């Protein structure tokens, strides 16, 4: 079975602009707040939490929502300029102008929208949360573009 560190870049490569390169990839979740993941509320968490694959380039964050079978949905690509992304702990806050409906989230969730890093064990997934968060928050983000 291929690691996520291989699957995610393969899914994102077709969506890159000419000359653009992925700096890091990761797996995120959105939806209900963290406290909804308590065992007593686990069913709500499964229903309302949405998994995403993410890729960081020189100037943007690419997000692809996954379907119920953990496959990337081809119709759900979201491109967010890194200037609209803020790192808070192991979460990303995305400040989008206007309606948060672009993310397919419940309308009750007002911007900023929170995405939680969910990377699993590095040996199993091949993902490094520290590297991903550093790529998102690196100053002079656009300098890696040719």
**Ordered domains of the chain (ranges, CATH):** 4-138 (2.30.29)
CB neighbourhood size of 8 (10 A): 25
pLDDT digits (tens, 9 = 90+) for 71-86: 998 788 889 999 889 9
pLDDT bin (cut points 50, 70, 90) of residue 55 is: very high
48: pLDDT confidence band, cut at 50, 70 and 90? confident
Strand, coil or helix: 101: helix
- Residue 134: CB atoms within 10 A of its CB come to 14
3-state SS of 2-24 is: CCHHHHHHHHHHCCCCCCCCCCE
């Amino acid at each position: 079975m291929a690691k996520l560190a291989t699957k995610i870049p393969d899914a994102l490569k077709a969506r890159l602009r000419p000359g653009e390169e992925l700096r890091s990839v990761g797996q995120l979740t959105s939806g209900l707040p963290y406290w909804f993941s308590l065992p007593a509320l686990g069913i709500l968490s499964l229903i309302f939490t949405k998994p995403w694959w993410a890729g960081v380039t020189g100037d943007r964050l690419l997000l692809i929502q996954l379907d119920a079978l953990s496959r990337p949905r081809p119709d759900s690509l979201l491109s967010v300029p890194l200037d609209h992304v803020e790192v808070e702990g192991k979460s990303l806050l995305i400040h989008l102008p206007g309606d948060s409906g672009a993310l397919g989230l419940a309308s009750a969730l007002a911007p900023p929208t929170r995405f939680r890093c969910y990377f699993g064990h590095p040996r199993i997934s091949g993902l490094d949360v520290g590297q991903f968060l550093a790529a998102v928050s690196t100053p002079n983000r656009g300098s890696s573009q040719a």
